[in-house]
Structure 1
Amino acid sequence: MPQRTTDTTEPESSGPKSSRTRERLLDAAALVLARKGFAGTRLSDIAEEAAVQAPAIYYYYPSREDLIEEVMFVGAAAMRAHLTDALAALPANATPVDRISTAVEAHLRHELEISDYAKAIIRNGNQLPEQVGRRALAEIAGYNDIWRTLVAELESTGQLRADVEPAVGRMIVLGALNWAAEWWNPERGPIGELIRTAQSMVLHSLRP
């Protein structure tokens, strides 16, 4: 296993190298946030994960909070874009059931397989000071709006149970999907099995 080297040079203020370092810092911060939470995340942990000296972070971000704010915003925007792209890839004749099933898979794959940023958001979204979470919360609201539309489509076609209040049903579904980040790991079985089970349970709970 190659040894990790630590960059001790002063970073360039712009250019490809600077962009790569910024991306490395964001990736490292997302990973540490997902593991340790907002209160437990230290710049020294992020620096170690990114293989840079801790003081170098200040060339890119004025403070720990500024770095975390960027991680949360980038991650939330990526979650929203991933769901939007997954739904856009469906055929024009996709049913509301098809769309919700696709949304369940998109959420779980992004949360568990694709992005540490998603785990960071799910585990820290309610812990952030307002100024740190403001941009991310706007993206999360947009994500929730997509789900609101999916449930409304199900209701408009007579496929939502009469005893399910749409907003409550939507939040319970998202809460259950988010909770998978706390307990699932590949040793429990393939992610496809989890997705199929989640799709079945979500659709059976929402439809008559």
Structure 2
Amino acid sequence: MNRSHVLASPPDNRTKYARTRTRILDAAAYVLSRQGYAGTRLSDVAGRAEIQTPAIYYYFASRDELIEEVMACGLADMRENLKSTLAALPPDTSAIDRILVAAETHLRHELEISDYTTASIRNHGQIPERLRIRADQEGDSYGAIWRQLFDDAARTGSLRTDVDPRISQMLVMGALNWAAEWWDPARTSLDGIVLAAQSLIRSALSTADHDVDAPPPAD
């Protein structure tokens, strides 16, 4: 399982400085995603990055600056991944199916692909407000994609008329984010989580019959 930050991974021709900085960020994302803001120590980050702890200060002025970068990168990466996944769907993909693909993309990125995204989601409420400014900006951009998905579903008649698009969007995103707190891969497969989430979303929101075919899988 590769849970490093896709956008931060450097090509071979990048400088040693950039490669080491990325290694520190990857290590910090791993530690932060598992130990939380309060439990993240620079010594743990340094150990995973295989450098001496004082060397971190050559790349980041403080522990908080490092954590702020991880948080912002996680949500930026998630946004770009969702944009590219939706762009690759066939043009005739229904509005509801686009929402279901977005749900799968969110869950897989959050739980399997990126430590950065897991760290961002799990620690948003733990970090000081001053460290949330960049992350909140990225989160707003990510949320705008979801708002468009739900607006499109309402506009095309794919969304039930007795549900509010904005409330439904926030409830769905909140449930998807919460999976990072309770999911245990030893008990339930990620595929099972994805299918359950898609079934619940379709049953709750779609005007179509519940026995229609599943949406195309996210890349």
TM over 0.5: yes
The reply to whether residue 203 of structure 1 matches residue 197 of structure 2 is no
Name 1:109's counterpart in structure 2: 108
Could you tell me how far 1:189 is from its partner in structure 2? 3.5
Could you tell me how far 1:134 is from its partner in structure 2? 1.1
What is the rounded CA distance, in whole Å, between the counterparts of 1:122 and 1:186 in structure 2?
18
Letter in 1 for 2:158: Q
Letter in 2 for 1:184: W
| Unpaired segments ≥5 residues, structure 1 | 1-14
C-alpha contact 2:96 2:159 (8 A) present in aligned 1: no
Can you list the C-alpha shifts for 1:81-104, whole angstroms capped at 9, x where unaligned? Answer: 011011001011111022111101
What is the rounded CA distance, in whole Å, between the counterparts of 1:45 and 1:119 in structure 2?
18
Letter in 1 for 2:164: E
Name 1:48's counterpart in structure 2: 47
The reply to whether residue 80 of structure 1 matches residue 97 of structure 2 is no
What is the rounded CA distance, in whole Å, between the counterparts of 2:15 and 2:21 in structure 1?
10
Can you list the C-alpha shifts for 1:147-179, whole angstroms capped at 9, x where unaligned? Answer: 111111111112222332221111110111111
TM-score relative to the length of structure 1: 0.89
Letter in 2 for 1:18: Y
Name 2:5's counterpart in structure 1: none
What is the rounded CA distance, in whole Å, between the counterparts of 1:188 and 1:159 in structure 2?
34
Name 1:25's counterpart in structure 2: 24
Could you tell me how far 1:35 is from its partner in structure 2? 1.1
Range with greater deviation from structure 2 (142-151 or 178-187): 178-187
Letter in 1 for 2:155: S
Name 1:8's counterpart in structure 2: none
Name 1:3's counterpart in structure 2: none
Could you tell me how far 1:130 is from its partner in structure 2? 2.9
Could you tell me how far 1:71 is from its partner in structure 2? 0.7
Structure 1: which 4+ aligned runs deviate by more than 3 Å?
Answer: none
Could you tell me how far 1:183 is from its partner in structure 2? 1.8
Name 2:191's counterpart in structure 1: 192
Match runs of 1:43-192 below 5 Å: 43-192=42-191
What is the rounded CA distance, in whole Å, between the counterparts of 1:29 and 1:21 in structure 2?
12
Counting helix residues as a fraction of each chain, which structure ranks higher?
A: 1
Greater RCO (CA < 8 Å, at least 6 residues apart): 2
Could you tell me how far 1:185 is from its partner in structure 2? 2.9
Can you list the C-alpha shifts for 1:65-121, whole angstroms capped at 9, x where unaligned? Answer: 111111111111100001101100101111102211110110011011101111101
Q: CA RMSD in A?
A: 1.3
Letter in 1 for 2:28: A
What is the rounded CA distance, in whole Å, between the counterparts of 1:131 and 1:183 in structure 2?
28
Give the number of aligned pairs.
Answer: 194
What is the rounded CA distance, in whole Å, between the counterparts of 1:197 and 1:87 in structure 2?
20
What is the rounded CA distance, in whole Å, between the counterparts of 1:196 and 1:20 in structure 2?
37
What is the rounded CA distance, in whole Å, between the counterparts of 1:78 and 1:102 in structure 2?
17
What is the rounded CA distance, in whole Å, between the counterparts of 2:163 and 2:24 in structure 1?
43
Can you list the C-alpha shifts for 1:26-79, whole angstroms capped at 9, x where unaligned? Answer: 111111111111122111111112111110000000001111111111111100
| Unpaired segments ≥5 residues, structure 2 | 1-13, 208-219
Letter in 2 for 1:81: E
What is the rounded CA distance, in whole Å, between the counterparts of 2:121 and 2:21 in structure 1?
22
Could you tell me how far 1:128 is from its partner in structure 2? 2.2
